Amino acid sequence: MDEVTIPLLTSVSGSIPDLEPVREGATFTQTLFNVINIFVGLGLLSTPYAYRAGGYIAGVALLLLSSLFCLSGHLIVAAFQYLPVDAPRSFPQLGKHALGIHGRKVVAVVAFLELFGGACMALLVTWQQLLILLDNHGLLALSPVHTAVALSLLWLVPMLSVGGFSRLAILSKLGMLSVCIVVTVVYSLLVLDPSRDDLPQPPPGHALARWTLPQAVGIFAVSLSGHSTLPALRAGMAAPSRFPALLTAAFCVMALLYGTVGAMGYWYYGSTTSALITTDISRAGPWTDTAMDKLLACLLLVNCSTKYPALVLVLQDLIIGMFPSKVATQGQLRPAVLATLRMLLCAASVGLSYAALDSIACVMSLVGGVASLSCSLLMPTLFYVKLAWAELGAARRGALLALLGLGSALMVFITSQNVVQLLAQLGKSTGA
């Protein structure tokens, strides 16, 4: 497990990062682009819904959370400096060095939750894009939803036979293109329909603040997560001393991007904003019934359907890494065993995703509240406090402990609210 580097969601936001090894001597601009490319992912699609959940005040919450996650990014890079020179730069190794064997286990469990949640989100987005492409029509005797699920499995199950990431890399490049198109389309709403005449009249309203703000914070947490990649990106810079400035710039850009896309989408669709902005683009507005909504759905479909096998592969490696090293060596495991493990992970994620098909926002926020906050805020801060405690002054100790308390409180609020909403929605579905 010590040798396993766990790529956190970046994107599902980024979920699994589409990362090739950073070339030595990367410039400031190149590294800045890499950071943004890794972090900005599927979470962008739900930022307008986050504004619906919290009202316009969600923008303030986004700025505050971006500041906290930027700080934790600095802390995780600083924490890795306390590892022995020859130690692997991985989250499990950092957890073990800070808290012993239990730290490594905690990292593994939380990472599994985030990655598995990311796999479920990738499936949910895949099904939603298929529904858009099918115009909500089923095939043969199947309902539209069952058709989308069946088609996705016909595509995804064979891809799970791929034994590595290299064959998925080319298709995964489409992720950045789909992000650019999403941003362009959302920004264009203000230009093409400033009076919102293309929506059912009167246009849907807005709210300044709503009690479901914690759900918005959870969605933002997913969108801002991906901290385990930062040490490697810093090491690949020609001038690592400039990384603190770069990290601050990257989070400023991401806060601006998420904030403007979220606010613009919420301004246009208001209280009818869906969990995924692509659903709104296809059902109402200047881009409805054009080639653009279908093109965007196709790009996101390919992006998510390549992201999902990558997530399953990392989950497989994570599970194997939990066993003793002599058992966990993949070369000693039969291909059939690995394939069976991947199929079991697929079955579990498909089952849970299908049960939560009408609760995409809750699932995303729950992953953010439990796993993303833990992986990208609480654990980096805790590990740094543990490793650097003797060198810290009273003021810094107090500030870091307060940060841990704030992060823990956010996790409790976000998790409890989403669990209540998720159970209520599942109850309605069962009753129906």
- Judge whether 396 lies within some domain: yes
AA letter at 235: A
Per the domain annotation, does 263 fall within a domain?
yes
Give residues with Cβ within 8 angstroms of 337, minimum separation 6: none
Domain total of the chain: 1
Residues 6+ away with beta carbon under 8 Å from 24 = 236, 238
- Residue 8 has what pLDDT? 38
For position 21, what pLDDT does the model report? 46
Residue 14 phi/psi, 5-degree rounding, is 5, 35
| Structural domain boundaries, residue 57 | 28-110+163-291+359-431
Tell whether 322 is covered by a domain: no
**Residue 379: inside a domain, yes or no?**
yes
Residue 5's pLDDT is what?
42
Tell me the torsion sign for CA atoms 134, 262, 375, 75: positive
pLDDT at 14: 42
pTM of the predicted protein model? 0.85
Q: Is 146 exposed, middle or buried (0-12, 13-18, 19+ CB in 10 A)?
A: middle
> Would you tell me how many other CB atoms lie within 10 Å of the CB of residue 282?
26
Give the residues across from 237 on adjacent strands.
Answer: 26
Q: What is the spatial distance between Cα 64 and Cα 275, in angstroms, rounded to a whole number?
A: 22
Retrieve residue 25's tokens.
């001597």
Give 10-residue mean pLDDT values along the chain (432 residues): 41 43 68 84 90 96 96 90 79 85 85 86 90 85 90 86 56 69 91 92 92 94 86 81 92 95 96 92 87 84 80 81 57 72 91 86 88 91 93 94 95 91 74 56
Which two tokens mark 243? 């990384």
CA 247, CA 266: separation in Å to the nearest integer? 28
Quote the CA–CA distance of 282 and 92 in Å, as a whole number: 42
Task: List, in sequence order, every residue forming a beta bridge with 10; answer none if it has no partner.
Answer: 14
Q: What is the C-alpha separation between 220 and 24, in angstroms, rounded? A: 32
- Cβ neighbour number for residue 143 with a 10 Å cutoff: 12
Q: What is the pLDDT of residue 20?
A: 44
Is 5 part of any domain? Answer: no
**Residues 6+ positions from 275 with CB-CB distance below 8 Å:** 46, 49, 360, 361, 364
Given this model, what pLDDT does residue 163 score?
A: 55
Angle at 345 between CA 343 and CA 346, to 5 degrees: 60
User: Which one, of 128, 108, 100, 50, lies nearest residue 364 by Cα?
Assistant: 50
Q: What local confidence, expressed as pLDDT, does residue 371 receive? A: 87
Residue 324's pLDDT is: 59
- The answer to whether residues 280 and 199 touch, using CB atoms and an 8 Å cutoff, is no
H-state helical runs in 322-393:
325-328, 335-355, 360-367, 373, 379-388
Interatomic CA distance for residues 8 and 97, integer angstroms: 19
Distance CA 131, CA 126 (A): 9
Question: Looking at the domain assignment, is residue 65 inside a domain?
Answer: yes
CA distance 298 to 337: 33
- Per the CB < 8 A criterion, the answer to whether 59 and 257 are in contact is no
336 inside domain = no
Q: How far apart are CA 113 and CA 242, in angstroms?
A: 33
Contacts of 247 (CB under 8 A, 6+ apart): 35, 70, 73, 74, 77, 230
Residue 20 lies in a domain: no
Give the list of residues 6+ apart from residue 297 with CB closer than 8 angstroms, or none. 129, 132, 133, 278, 282
> CA-CA distances (angstroms) from residue 107 to 98, 173, 377, 429?
11, 29, 13, 34
